[in-house]
């Protein structure tokens, strides 16, 4: 259990630093077009952290046997422990470090929609949907589901890489 807490905190810290790096490079304002790509790279970070955790847990001196179920439980428990910490870290980031994120996204979104919307009615409806989505509560909910799904997928597949001792 100690390993899971350690890696949940590590995962939260790494993903928080990743958010800060995205912001510093400009993916949250000037280069917001590339934000979905950089956000998907968090899946790779997630997998690397969980893979390292499984390897460490498997090689502990107290581990007498190792099987797929133990690897799954280790990675999934870390995911469950990391989710509340990730919610808190994103809330801190979007409220203290980058409070203009949602406004920047809305401005850029209006530009995209104005080019692609065939009518004013369609434009207004698209803007309303965008305004509903880019609020902290909705955004956090969607991100929570994405993180839980990422953790579940990594928990299912990564233990296959670690054979028995």
- Give the burial string for 56-67 (b: 16+ CB within 10 Å, else e): ebbeeeeeeebe
Average pLDDT over residues 13-35: 83
Output the six-digit token pair for 143.
């991100």
Q: How many residues in the chain?
A: 165
pTM (predicted TM-score): 0.84
Among 32-36, 80-84, 117-121, 122-126, name the most confident range: 80-84
Higher pLDDT, 77 or 130: 77
The residue extents of the domains of the chain are 2-98+140-161
Higher pLDDT, 78 or 127: 78
CA–CA separation, 17 vs 35, rounded Å?
Answer: 15
CA–CA separation, 130 vs 32, rounded Å?
Answer: 15
């Amino acid at each position: 259990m100690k390993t899971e807490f350690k890696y949940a905190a590590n995962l939260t810290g790494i993903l928080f630093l990743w958010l800060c790096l995205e912001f510093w490079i400009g993916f949250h304002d000037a280069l917001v077009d590339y934000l979905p790509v950089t956000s998907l790279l968090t899946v790779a970070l997630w997998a690397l952290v969980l893979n390292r955790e499984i390897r460490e847990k498997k090689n502990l001196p107290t581990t007498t046997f190792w099987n797929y179920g133990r690897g799954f439980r280790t990675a999934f428990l870390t995911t469950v422990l990391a989710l509340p910490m990730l919610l808190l870290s994103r809330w801190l980031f979007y409220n203290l470090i980058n409070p203009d994120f949602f406004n920047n996204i809305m401005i850029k979104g209006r530009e995209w929609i104005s080019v692609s919307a065939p009518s004013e009615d369609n434009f207004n409806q698209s803007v309303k949907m965008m305004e509903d989505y880019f609020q902290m509560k909705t955004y956090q909910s969607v991100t929570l589901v994405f993180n839980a799904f990422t953790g579940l997928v990594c928990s299912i597949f990564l233990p296959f890489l670690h054979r028995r001792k």
